[in-house]
Amino acid sequence: MTFKEFTKELNGKKVEGELIKTFFYSLITSVIIIAIAYFLFLRNNPDFIPKYSFYLFFAVLSYALIIPTFIHVKAYKEFLCMPGMMIGMSIGMVASFLSGFYIASTNGMFIGSIFGMTIGITFGIWNGRCCGIMGILEGIMAGFMGGLMGAMTAFMLLNDHLKASAVIVFLVSSLIIIGLHYMIYKETRENKEEHKKNHFFTILITLILDILTILIMIIGPRSDLFS
């Protein structure tokens, strides 16, 4: 089973054919939410464009990257132990590291760590449960470590190419998620899908994440260095 065959399925009728659609559903939802927020109150904040817009953009891009994994995992419901552990670990780590990194870039290490751990552990448990307690534990551990490491990395790079690093960590995380989708495809190619595709979930989870991110970045607590 080659990667080329996987890329062909991205235009197919199985759940893999919904992954790119889910990415764009999430991204379009984020664009609408940010546009509404901007015209309601963000345009009156002189710091929004120079301080927050870059990191907010990559935060919502990260959500659009991660959310399709929910659709892919949910379509097959149950996985063997090793693939399920990899799912919990990969999603928990990527979600926590990216969200922690971007929030820490605007609000400081403490709030970035808490936000990253919360998102990563939640996502890790949610997806890792596909193989039972071991996947759940992997999700918790990855979310815990990723949130701290993402926030700490951003904090250490405050005066040393932070924006360039934000791009790099997103690109590396994208490779991890693409590899994860390929693994799921290989593990489930003989399986029948057990869940119908539902883009309402994509829109809802994107809405919640975007609102939380905007509120925390703009009016949330921050360390003294960001006051």
Please spell the DSSP secondary structure of 108-123, one letter per residue: -HHHHHHHHHHHHHHH
112-134 pLDDT per residue, tens: 999 999 999 999 999 999 888 99
The answer, yes or no, to whether residue 224 has pLDDT greater than 80, is no
Q: How far is CA 117 from CA 139, 184, 189, in A?
A: 11, 24, 32
Q: How far is CA 88 from CA 45, 72, 114, 168, in A?
A: 38, 13, 19, 23
- pTM score, whole prediction: 0.92
Considering 44-53, 73-82, 106-115, 180-189, the range whose residues carry the highest mean pLDDT is: 106-115
pLDDT band at 196 (very low <50, low <70, confident <90, very high): low
User: What are the φ and ψ backbone dihedral angles of 207, each rounded to 5 degrees?
Assistant: -60, -50
Identify which has the larger pLDDT, 190 or 56: 56
How many helices (DSSP H) and strands (DSSP E) are in the chain? 8, 0
Mean pLDDT confidence for 9-37: 90
Mean pLDDT confidence for 77-100: 93
Nearest-CA neighbor of 14 among 190, 179, 175?
190
Nearest-CA neighbor of 150 among 120, 171, 180, 181?
120
Mean pLDDT confidence for 140-160: 95
The answer, yes or no, to whether residue 21 has pLDDT greater than 70, is yes
Q: Cα(29)–Cα(35) distance, rounded to whole angstroms?
A: 10
- Domain boundaries, position 163: 3-226
pLDDT band at 175 (very low <50, low <70, confident <90, very high): very high
pLDDT band at 194 (very low <50, low <70, confident <90, very high): low
Give the count of domains, the chain. 1
Q: Cα(10)–Cα(100) distance, rounded to whole angstroms?
A: 30
Q: Cα(127)–Cα(86) distance, rounded to whole angstroms?
A: 10
Place of tokens 């605007």: 106
